[in-house]
Amino acid sequence: MSLHNSGTSSVAVDYCRLWDEQHARSVAQKEKMGEGGGKFWSDQGVVDRFVQNVISGDPSRMEKQIAEMHIPSGSSVLDIGAGPGTLAVPLSCFGCRVTTVEPSEPMGVAMERYRKMMHAPPIREIRKCWEDVTPEEAGVHDVAATSRRAGIGTSLSSEVLRSVSVSHTC
């Protein structure tokens, strides 16, 4: 995506390149701190904090966020980087058919506990990094959503996202 400045000069800004550069710096920093390869998201202390925030946090915040997404009940939703089910579980309760992509086993276990606690319908889980998901695994969805998965802007994952035939991204 390249946009032109609306001011007097005609300077093109390559936002995709800027995003990719920022993402690369973020990955490098995580590696430097020993948190690369998903270690941060699989740390049980981190998982427990996320779960605590989801369970005891203000439910109106998530309800508002989901309402602002304008996802009709019955929609098929692909939730990338689902974590403990922050979006997936409420969307499932709302009547959406949800597929999650979450590589962290502890996050997946936490999501399943949260789903059962909320009496939500089953959620299809893909236990892989987004970049490793094939279009066939991802399937076809009405909506693709992500809360914290900043890396979906990479060319590989963008190619998969285009191929899963989503009609709307959040």
Q: What is the pLDDT of residues 118-138, one digit of tens each?
A: 999 999 999 998 878 888 898
**Rounded Cα gap, residues 55 and 58, in angstroms:** 9
pLDDT at 2 (0 to 100): 39
CA-to-CA distance for 170 and 145, rounded, in angstroms? 5
What's residue 97's pLDDT?
A: 97
What's the CATH code, domain 37-169?
Answer: 3.40.50.150
Which regions in the chain score pLDDT beneath 50?
1-6, 150-156
Q: How many Å separate Cα 147 from the centre of its chain?
A: 5
Asked if 63 and 128 count as a contact pair (C-beta separation under 8 A), the reply is: no
* pTM score over 0.85: no
Q: Which of 76, 66, 40 is nearest to 147 (CA)?
A: 66
Residue 8's contacts (CB-CB under 8 Å, 6 or more residues apart) are none
